[in-house]
Each structure stands twice: as structure tokens, then as C-alpha cells.
Amino acid sequence: MKEYIPGLAGVPATESSISSIDGDRGILAYRGYPISELVEHSSFEEVALLLLDGEIPSNQKLSDFKTLLRERYEVKHNIKSLMWALPSSGHSMDVLQTAISAMATFYPDAGAAEPDSDYTQNALVKIISNMSTLVAMWARINRGYDPIPPSKHMSYAENFLYMSFGKEPTKEMVELFDACLIMHAEHTINASTFSAMVTASTLANPFASVSAAVGTLAGSLHGGANEDVLNMLDEIGDPKNVRKYIEGRLKNKQVIWGMGHREYSVKDPRATILEKMLQKYTKSSGGSLSKRFETALETERVCEELLSSKGVYPNVDFYSGIFYSEVFKFTKEHFTPIFAMARSAGWVAHWHEQVSRNRIFRPTQIYIGSDFRSYPVK
């Protein structure tokens, strides 16, 4: 008899060489390299190329890739016009998904038939490059302002911050944001990546796959969870309220946002890095911990006391929202699109891997409806 496994939990759906997780030791690695080392020594551009090609690039290859990304920052006029035509109240993830889908019309021959052709490879680079531009553009368009043109002299992280705020960011801000992009670039076969892979398995173009992934990431149980974490912390209001709040949610069997991850029985390594970065930034900037950050630390302490025996610890969403809000001053509606910007590198890598040795996904089901029966003739 077939066994039904809800959510395909623990079911291997593919063989992949892109990333791996050791959930018991709290290690996430891209192509074998732990993210703790990549955050310390690498850049988002280098990590994106690592995910695509499988190896740390030479200095010359990395320089060429950076140039290629920067040359493609600019978005087609038609896409800009499309974005201006959308309601300003539209969710940024819906806008991003729409724009990415529309980009396919400019690359009609970018497909699975020749995934290694220069044409298709340029399309993959265009997706990564334009993701940041699109997110930064909408942050201004939805408030009625013209987008700030991208700077082809800036790194990926630096250009996004410049387009978002209209001034050149400090070196510290660029390094912090670059680290955030690295941590969100890839995470094995999660819901959005699986969505991209299923779409790719039909031999759809990479824009369709990434569009599907963006739509999947928008859900609050995936990329949107960091917004829910901030709402939860604001609802708690003060560290002294944490225990009563957490105990109440546990009693009522409610979700504690940002806590627990299916892949980790210990603390998410990305959450560990983000927490340390927050503390370091607070110390270097000479400021005290914000009430929200203090509440988060107390929430983690209480949850560890109450839930660690069940292997429930903070995940990346627990601290990423605080980081984006407290350090960069981004508003909540832009958290998940920033996630998508970074994850685009992983998505296109999985698209390429899937179509290179493809078999269409066609799972089965366990039927629980009515038996075969005759139509009731009246």
C-alpha cells in the first residue's frame, strides 16, 4: 500500500550538487562551502557564480561576471511602463512575479533545449541582475516617485541600496547587506525552489520557473514569515511580556513565527550569523539594543527553555526582518522581495541543473473520494 507523506517531508525529490544541509550540526553549504566561510570571505557575485558553475571562480572570471551583471542592471522601458500601470497598492511580490514573467518576451529562445548556449546563459544572468533593479524600482514607483537609475560602477549590494535610498551607502552597510544576500542565496529543495524545479521539468523557460518560485516564496509559511515575526514582536511589545505571550500561543497551538525549521534540529546557522551581525552592528554604531531586538532575544531565550527539547530553535526569518528594519530601515513589504533577489541565484542554478538531466515531475496521489458510481438519471 502506498504511504501518504504530507508535504513530502523527508522524501528525496531529486539529486543535486548545489547545496546541502547538516541539520544536526547546523551547517548549510553551497557546493560544499559552509555559508559561515562564504559570508566572511566571499561576495554575493562570487557566490552566485559558484552556484551556477560549481566552483569558486578565478579572479578574471569573477571580474567578467561582475561586469556582465552591472551591464544588465538596467530594465527594459516596456517593463518600466508595465510597472507604472500596476496599482500602487499591489503587493511587491505580485509586481515582481509579473515583471519577471514579462521579461520572457524579450528572450523567446532562452530555453531548456540549449541551457549552456550563450543566449540562455545571458538570460540567466539577466534574471539575477534585474531582480535587484525591479525590487528597488517598485519601492519608489508605488510611492509615486521615478526610479533611480542603476549605477554600473557599483556592486550588486551597493547598487541596490543606492537605488533604494538615493545616496551612496557606507562600506559597512554594503558589507552587511552583501552578507544577507549570501545567506539567502540558496537553501536546498524548499517550497519555492521545488516550484521552480517542477516548472523547469516541463522544459519551460527560466523566466517561467523563477516567476513560479517568486509566487511560492510570497506565502507567509515561506518567505513572508519575516514580516510575521516583526508583527509578532511588535504585538509582544516588551521583553517582560514575552513569557506570557509565548505560553499563551503554545497553549492555543498557535504558530510562533520564526521558530523551528524542518531541516534543522539545532539553531539555523543563518539565524546565528544574523544575530551576531546585529550585535556587532549595535556595538560599532554606539547605540543600545532596540526594544524590538531586546524582545527578540528574550523570545529566543524563552522558546529555547520551552521548546529546545523538541528541536525548535530560531530560523533565518526570526532575525532577518529585524535586521532589514533596524539596520537598513526597509519597510516590511520589501523583506520578501529582497529574499527573492538573493534566492534568484539559487533558482537559476536549479533550473539549469534540472533541465540538464531532466525528467518531468509527475507524482501520484492517494484517492480518498467516492468509489466509482453511476450518474443518477432522473
DSSP letters, 133-168, are: HHHHHHHHHTTTPPPPPP-TTS-HHHHHHHHHHSSP
Q: What 3-state DSSP class applies to 261?
A: strand
CB contact at 8 A, 166 and 137: no
Q: Is 196 helix (H, G, I), strand (E, B) or coil?
A: helix
Joined together, the cell numbers standing for residue 156 give 550588486
CA 1 from chain center: how many Å?
37
Closest listed residue to residue 346, CA positions, set 194, 185, 192, 209: 185
In this structure, how many other beta carbons lie within 10 angstroms of the beta carbon of residue 24?
Answer: 10
Cell (9 digits) for 288: 543600545
Distance CA 17, CA 32 (A): 9
Q: Per the residue annotation, which of 187, 228, 317, 334 is the catalytic one?
A: 317
Let me know the angle formed at the C-alpha of 53 by 52 and 55, rounded to the nearest 5 degrees: 125
- Grid cell locating 79: 517593463
Q: Reply yes or no on whether 350 is catalytic.
A: no
- Cα–Cα distance, 223 to 51 (Å, whole number): 20
Out of 261, 334, 350, 352, the active site residue is: 261
**Distance, CA of 90 to chain centre:** 20
- Let me know if 261 is a catalytic residue: yes
Separation of alpha carbons 161 and 146, rounded Å:
16
Residue type, 200: A
Which residues participate in catalysis according to the annotation? Answer: 261, 317
